Amino acid sequence: MKICDNCGKNNALVHFIAKPPLDDTQPADVPRSLCESCGKDFIRSLPRKEQLLFAAGFRPGERALNVVKQYVVATLNVQGNESELEIVTGDHGRSVGSKIYVRADMLPSGLKVGDRFSVSGTPLELDVFESSRGE
């Protein structure tokens, strides 16, 4: 079991990279393996990047199945690093559910307002993605 680089607790589940690197002067000093709580807080605190990628494992006792969710881009503010997404729900993905705000640098490149896209990953990965601009 990995230990969180920030708080020292077990269960470091969130691992990430950024383009360009998080800190060009001392990249080795930046935490890269974090527990769920520290990972969410750290990702929210990062400055805007060209692209922020991360991976997260399954929570202890969680069934090892990936989840797929669809979203529609409602607003996109690249300079402000914020995008409002509508979560697609319902039969055959026809209805639009609640709205969330996420970091724009975590979106697939090339998206524009009105585009629909899918994210697939562990439940924790989708949770981190959906809470990347705060809860």
pLDDT tens-digit series, residues 42-99: 889 888 888 888 888 888 888 888 999 999 999 999 999 999 999 998 766 666 778 9
Sheet holding 116-121, edge to edge: 95-102, 82-89, 67-77, 116-121
pLDDT at site 96:
72
pLDDT at site 26:
43
pLDDT higher than 90, residue 20 = no
| AA letter at 79 | Q
- CB 51: neighbour CB atoms within 10 A? 13
Enumerate the β-bridge partners of residue 10.
Answer: 3
Give the 3-state secondary structure of residue 122: coil
- The average pLDDT across 20-33 equals 55
The two three-digit tokens of residue 67, written as one number: 């989840």
- The average pLDDT across 116-134 equals 92
- The average pLDDT across 12-31 equals 59
pLDDT tens digits, residue range 98-119?
899 999 999 999 999 999 999 9
pLDDT at site 28:
44
In eight-state DSSP terms, residue 131 is T
pLDDT at site 15:
81
- The average pLDDT across 18-40 equals 65
The two three-digit tokens of residue 113, written as one number: 């307002």
Give which of 54, 73, 33 is closest to 124, Cα–Cα. 54
| In the chain, beta strands by DSSP E | 14-19, 33-34, 51-56, 67-77, 82-89, 95-102, 116-121
Distance CA 109, CA 121 (A): 18
Distance CA 31, CA 14 (A): 10
Task: Pick 67-130's CATH classification: 3.40.50, 1.20.120, 2.60.40, 2.40.50.
Answer: 2.40.50
- The average pLDDT across 119-125 equals 94
Q: Which residues in the chain are classed under CATH 2.40.50?
A: 67-130
Higher pLDDT, 31 or 57: 57
- The average pLDDT across 6-11 equals 86
